[in-house]
Each structure stands twice: as structure tokens, then as C-alpha cells.
């Protein structure tokens, strides 16, 4: 068998992609990578080139949006709205150029042009929308304080706030789709190496590698020995004693310490080696067995202290925003779904005479019970034996029309009423039966943490196929990730995905 001396030998693979070649017949043993300096240099140079394209493209898209706004505002029938002046393009050209430069500068400040975000459309979208609000607010404030001549139309500003970010998001989505479909994606992905292999490492590696368009690529792990439970596609790079040589030889962008059982001096050596090679050093805080509250670093008496922070939805402003969206969405959803409820209610009654609606006790926020409302999709005697449980694939208790309703989430539409009453939200962890919660909270770690938020008609776990008779522990991980990363944009994304993701809808 080849020895570890072969581990870092030069490979004929593409140095930009950081490809590895297996040099023995056994998986997870010995891999060889291209030289670190060559791969890292080329990858970073290529990343800067892509960033330059994104930067220039963004500027011209913003400029196009502002010009389009000008022609809609002043060259269309709405030019009569509340503005006596009739400016020509030359009057506004200076404003348009200044606004485009200002917007681009704010996006730079907001981290949109960080190479780590090139493949992370959701992070880029959040930044673009956030800074667009600050951008238009600054323009309006400036027009009020400085009294520009000719004056800037406030309707123009509001229209620009809608049109320019919308065009920017369309362009960025298309740009990212092109990137993901080419070899460029591999050069832009952050190369990750783990120190230690355990359940946290496996979970992170799965999340990093599950998507072709992921922003991360796991190139290997450092451990005392090759772990037989590790993913065979992930290279075993060597023992922790060799970490210094590995970090200096293998193309790495991020090193993640997942095992805190090493001596303090060994960990300090890892940090020093990462600093020397300009590798990001991160720690999986496995001693914190519950991560839903988000960890944050603060300084107490000059000493950095890692502690448990607050969830986004613990903040009253975020809760108010979410509730406002729930009220508007609940009213609209109830009005739009009323004909659907009537049609499918009649179909249910003809197939199985009896009540059209089905009420069931569920646990809500902080464990408070409430009655969830659904269009009945099963026979009246579905739980005649008194046993509480989930539906299974091809459940014989379902009505024929019930199968169709469950696939397309039609049975859930009456829950808009639960949303309006404040018992549920449009998006959140799905509520469970109190009888099941009493069991799960004892048997499944972190289960009760999902009750920090109101349950939802749809949720992050559901749109990823985790519903019905699926792995409950994995479902909890998705619910907790949602709570940690909540934002209005994420809620909107989940609502859109609900119409297209029907996996495991039993």
C-alpha cells in the first residue's frame, strides 16, 4: 500500500477545480491533490475575474433599470401624476449616474461582492433587497434636504426602488445559473477540510455536498485513522499529527475543527498553521448540544465569551413583520381558496358522507394546544382504533379524492383561518399531536425547540420532502435551521416552493 509520503504528490487533475485522485484501491485512505499554491492562486484569480464580471454587469443592470424607470415615469401616460415639470433625459442623467454609483457602492459595503457569496443566491438576494431600501431612503432624504434642481420625483424614486432591484435579481439569477452549469462553479466553491469525524462532521459534509451548486466542497478530513463510517467520496488526508503539513500542501479555504477533544496546544498549532497559510479556521461548538438559539461572541471584561444568543423571531420587530405578512396572506389565502374549499368539500361529501372539515388537536407556540382545521381526506373511521399516528405511503384510510388533495396540499387550505386567529403562521414547523409531542420531546434531542415559533401551513422541512413517515430527527434539523435563519425572504422562498415540491406527500 502507498504510504502517506505519496499523499501530497502532484496530480494531473485540473488545478482550478481542486480535483483529487485516489492512489490506492481502498476508499477513504490516500488521495493526492494538486499543489496548494498553484490551485489556490488560480482559483482566487478566477474568482476575482468572475467578481469583476458580476460587478460590471450589476452596474449596467442598475443603470438600465434607472433609465427604464425614467421612460416609464416621464414618457408614458403616468407622466401626468402629481408632477408639473416635464424633464428630458439630460436633466436626469446626472441623478441616474449618481444613483447607480451609490447603489453599487452600498452593495460593495454590504458584502455582495464577497467571492464566498457568488454561488449563494439567497444571501445575495437578501443583501440586494436590504440595501435597496437604504438606497432609496438615502435618495429621498437627499432630495428633501438638498433641494435638487430640477427636483427629483418621489414617484420616480419609488418606481426605481422596485424596477432596479428586480432587474438586478433577474440578472443575478441568470448569471448564477450559467455559473452552476459550467466548470467555473468548482473554482468558486470554498474547499473545506474537517478535523475529526463525528455526527456533526457527517451532517455538515452532507449539507455541503448535496447540491451541485453548493458554495462549499469537502475535500477531505483529518483524523486519527480512516473512519469506516465516513462518506467514501471524502478523502482521508491523514492524522492530526500531520495537520501542519496537510494544511500547507492541500488546497484548502476553510478548516473546521469538529472534535474538541484534542489538547489545547494541538488546537493552537492548527490555528497558527491556518493563519500562516491564509486558511479560515472555524469550530463546530459540539459542547453546545442545542444550536437553535444561535451562538454569538461577546467581550466580557476584555475576555471573548461564546454564548447562546437570540433567535431572529425572538425580536419583536421580526415577529411584527411576520404577523403582518400572516394577516395579509391569511385574508388573501382564505378569499382565493374559498371556491376550492367548496368544490373539494362537495367531492369529499359525495365519496364519504359526513363532516367536510376535520378538526384535530395540535401543539402550537410554546406548546399551547389549538384545533387545526383541514378538509377531510380520510374515512370517518380512520382512527377508530384510538391509535394516533402518521399517514404512510399508499395509506388505505385515504379517500380517493384525499390522495389528490394531500399531494397538492389542498386539504391544508382551511388553515388560513388558523393563521388569521394567530394560532398558526403561513410558514413554520408543522404542528404535531400533543400525544406525539409528549413522546418525542423525551426521545428526540432538541425536539421541543421547534415550539419557539408558531407552527406553519408549510415549512422548510416539508418543501424538502420531510413529512409523513420520514426521518423525524432529520426533520427537526430542518425546522431548527429555519428558526436560526429566519427572514422574510426565506418565508417567501418556502411559500413559492410549496407549489412545486410534493415529495412524500402521502
Higher pLDDT, 421 or 23: 421
- Looking at residue 390, its pLDDT comes to 56
Instruction: Give CA–CA dist 47/138, Å, rounded.
Output: 31
In whole angstroms, how far apart are CA 151 and each of 4, 145, 156, 197? 72, 11, 11, 63
At 458, give phi and psi (nearest 5°).
-130, 170
**Is the model more confident about 118 or about 414?**
414
Grid cell listed for 237: 488526508
Which of the four pLDDT bands, split at 50, 70 and 90, describes residue 8? very low
Tens of pLDDT along 369-390?
999 999 988 887 666 555 555 5
Report long-range pairs for 130-138 (Cβ below 8 Å, ≥24 apart): 131/103, 131/106, 131/107, 132/103, 132/161, 132/164, 132/165, 133/161, 134/106, 135/99, 135/102, 135/103, 135/106, 135/161, 136/160, 136/161, 138/102
- E strands in 223-302: 235-238, 254-257, 280-283, 295-300
- Higher-confidence position of 306 and 50: 50
Residues 6+ apart with CB under 8 A from 168: 58, 61, 62, 65, 128
Average pLDDT over residues 331-346: 92
* Cα distances (Å, whole numbers) of residue 470 to 94, 189, 365, 451, 503: 58, 31, 23, 20, 11
What is the C-alpha separation between 352 and 423, in angstroms, rounded? Answer: 29
**Is the distance from CB of 222 to CB of 238 less than 8 angstroms?**
yes
Checking if the pLDDT of 22 tops 60, the result is no
Q: What share of the chain is helix, strand, coil (3-state, %, to 5)?
A: 55, 10, 35
What confidence score (pLDDT) does residue 17 get?
A: 37
pLDDT digits (tens, 9 = 90+) for 158-201: 899 999 999 999 999 888 888 776 666 666 778 889 888 887 78
What is the DSSP secondary-structure string of 356-375? Answer: SEEEEEEE-GGG-EEEEEEE
According to the model, what pLDDT value does residue 393 have? 61
Q: Please give the Cα distance from 367 to 266 (Å, whole number).
A: 44
The pLDDT value recorded for residue 153 is 83
Task: Provide the grid cell at 9.
Answer: 504528490
Task: Indicate if the pLDDT at residue 270 is higher than 50.
Answer: yes
55-59, 110-114, 139-143, 240-244 — which one is most confidently predicted on average? Answer: 55-59
Higher pLDDT, 2 or 433: 433
Phi, psi of 220 (to 5 degrees): 165, -175
- Which of 462, 469, 470, 472 lies closest to 497, judged by CA? 462
- Using only C-alpha atoms, what is the Rg of the chain? 27
Q: At what angle do helices 154-180 and 121-146 cross, to 10 degrees?
A: 160
How confident is the model at residue 9, as a pLDDT? Answer: 32
Banded pLDDT at 146 (limits 50, 70, 90) = confident
For 302-336, the pLDDT digits (tens) are 555 555 566 788 788 888 899 999 999 999 999 99
Domains of the chain (ranges plus CATH)? 11-30+189-287 (3.40.50.720), 41-180 (no CATH), 316-380+394-498 (no CATH)
Residue 204: per-residue pLDDT: 79
C-alpha cell at 417: 383561518
- What pLDDT shows up at residue 10? 31
CA pair distance 2, 7, nearest whole angstrom:
9
Q: Where residue 344 falls among pLDDT bands split at 50, 70, 90?
A: very high
Retrieve residue 305's grid coordinates: 465569551
CA–CA separation, 140 vs 160, rounded Å? 11
- Listed in sequence order, the residues at least 6 apart from 128 whose beta carbon sits closer than 8 Å to its beta carbon are 107, 112, 165, 168, 169, 172
pLDDT number for residue 29: 40
Q: What is the mean pLDDT of residues 479-493?
A: 87
d(C-alpha 220, C-alpha 188), whole Å: 17
| pLDDT at residue number 28 | 43
Q: How many other β-carbons are positioned within 10 Å of the β-carbon of residue 284?
A: 20
DSSP 278: T
The confidence score (pLDDT) of residue 164 equals 93
Q: Do the bridges between strand 21-22 and strand 31-32 make them parallel or antiparallel, or are there none, so unpaired?
A: antiparallel
Residues with Cβ within 8 Å of 427's Cβ and at least 6 positions away in sequence, in order, are 456, 457, 458, 459, 460, 482, 490, 491, 494, 495
Judged against a pLDDT cut of 50, whether residue 424 lies above it is answered with: yes
455 neighbors 483 (Cβ within 8 angstroms): no
- Could you give phi then psi for residue 498, rounded to 5 degrees? -60, -30
> pLDDT: is 366 or 291 the higher one?
366
Confidence of residue 99 (pLDDT cuts 50, 70, 90): very high
Give all strands (DSSP E) within 275-420, no chain letters. Answer: 280-283, 295-300, 303-308, 357-363, 369-375
Q: Which residue has the higher pLDDT, 56 or 211?
A: 56
pLDDT of residue 299: 54
Number of C-beta neighbours around residue 74 at 10 A? 20
Question: How does pLDDT run across 195-230, given as a tens digit for each residue?
Answer: 888 877 887 787 777 655 567 888 888 887 767 667
- The DSSP result for 156-188, as a single string, is HHHHHHHHHHHHHHHHHHHHHHHHHTSTHHHHH
Question: Nearest 10 degrees: CA dihedral of 373, 374, 379, 384?
Answer: -30
Model confidence at 464: pLDDT above 60? yes
Confidence of residue 42 (pLDDT cuts 50, 70, 90): low
Confidence of residue 85 (pLDDT cuts 50, 70, 90): low
Average pLDDT taken over every residue of the chain: 78
d(CA 276, CA 247): 9
Amino acid at each position: 500500500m502507498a504510504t502517506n509520503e505519496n499523499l501530497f504528490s502532484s496530480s494531473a487533475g485540473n488545478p482550478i477545480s481542486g480535483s483529487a485522485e485516489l492512489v490506492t484501491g481502498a476508499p477513504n485512505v490516500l488521495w493526492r491533490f494538486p499543489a496548494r499554491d498553484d490551485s489556490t492562486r488560480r482559483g482566487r484569480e478566477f474568482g476575482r475575474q468572475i467578481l469583476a464580471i458580476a460587478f460590471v454587469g450589476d452596474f449596467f443592470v442598475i443603470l438600465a433599470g434607472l433609465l427604464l424607470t425614467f421612460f416609464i415615469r416621464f414618457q408614458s401616460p403616468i407622466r401626468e401624476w402629481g408632477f408639473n415639470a416635464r424633464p428630458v433625459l439630460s436633466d436626469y442623467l446626472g441623478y441616474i449616474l449618481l444613483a447607480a454609483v451609490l447603489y453599487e457602492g452600498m452593495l460593495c459595503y454590504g458584502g455582495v461582492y464577497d467571492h464566498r457569496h457568488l454561488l449563494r443566491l439567497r444571501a445575495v438576494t437578501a443583501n440586494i433587497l436590504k440595501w435597496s431600501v437604504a438606497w432609496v431612503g438615502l435618495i429621498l432624504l437627499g432630495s428633501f434636504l438638498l433641494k435638487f434642481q430640477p427636483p427629483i420625483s418621489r414617484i420616480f424614486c419609488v418606481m426605481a426602488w422596485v424596477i432596479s432591484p428586480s432587474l438586478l435579481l433577474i440578472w443575478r439569477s441568470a448569471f448564477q445559473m450559467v455559473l452552476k452549469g459550467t466548470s467555473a462553479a468548482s473554482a468558486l466553491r470554498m474547499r473545506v477540510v474537517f478535523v475529526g469525524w463525528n455526527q456533526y462532521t457527517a451532517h455538515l459534509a452532507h449539507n455541503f455536498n448535496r447540491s451541485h451548486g453548493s458554495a462549499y466542497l469537502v475535500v477531505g478530513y483529518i483524523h486519527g485513522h480512516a473512519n469506516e463510517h465516513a462518506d467514501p467520496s471524502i478523502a482521508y488526508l491523514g492524522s492530526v499529527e500531520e495537520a501542519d503539513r496537510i494544511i500547507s500542501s492541500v488546497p484548502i479555504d476553510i478548516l473546521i475543527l469538529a472534535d474538541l477533544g484534542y489538547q489545547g496546544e494541538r488546537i493552537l498549532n492548527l490555528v497558527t498553521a491556518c493563519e500562516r497559510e491564509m486558511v479560515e479556521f472555524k469550530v463546530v461548538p459540539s459542547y453546545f448540544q442545542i444550536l437553535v438559539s444561535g451562538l454569538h461572541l461577546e467581550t466580557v471584561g476584555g475576555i471573548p465569551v461564546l454564548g447562546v444568543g437570540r433567535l431572529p423571531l425572538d425580536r419583536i420587530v421580526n415577529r411584527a413583520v411576520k404577523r403582518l405578512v400572516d394577516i395579509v396572506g391569511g385574508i388573501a389565502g382564505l378569499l382565493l381558496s374559498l371556491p376550492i374549499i367548496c368544490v373539494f368539500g362537495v367531492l369529499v361529501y359525495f365519496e364519504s358522507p359526513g363532516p367536510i372539515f376535520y378538526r384535530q388537536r395540535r401543539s402550537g407556540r410554546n406548546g399551547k394546544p389549538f384545533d387545526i382545521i383541514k378538509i377531510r381526506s380520510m374515512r370517518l373511521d380512520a382512527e377508530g382504533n384510538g391509535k394516533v399516528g402518521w399517514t404512510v405511503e399508499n395509506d388505505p384510510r385515504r379517500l380517493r379524492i384525499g390522495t389528490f388533495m394531500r399531494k397538492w396540499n389542498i386539504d391544508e387550505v382551511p388553515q388560513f383561518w388558523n393563521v388569521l386567529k394567530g394560532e398558526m403562521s403561513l410558514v413554520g414547523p408543522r404542528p404535531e399531536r400533543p400525544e406525539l409531542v409528549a413522546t418525542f420531546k423525551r426521545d428526540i434531542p432538541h425536539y421541543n425547540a421547534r415550539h419557539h415559533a408558531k407552527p406553519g401551513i408549510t415549512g422548510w422541512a416539508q418543501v424538502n420532502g420531510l413529512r409523513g413517515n420520514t426521518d423525524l430527527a432529520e426533520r427537526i434539523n430542518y425546522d431548527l435551521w429555519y428558526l436560526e435563519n429566519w427572514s422574510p425572504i426565506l418565508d417567501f422562498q418556502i411559500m413559492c416552493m410549496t407549489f412545486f415540491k410534493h415529495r412524500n406527500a402521502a
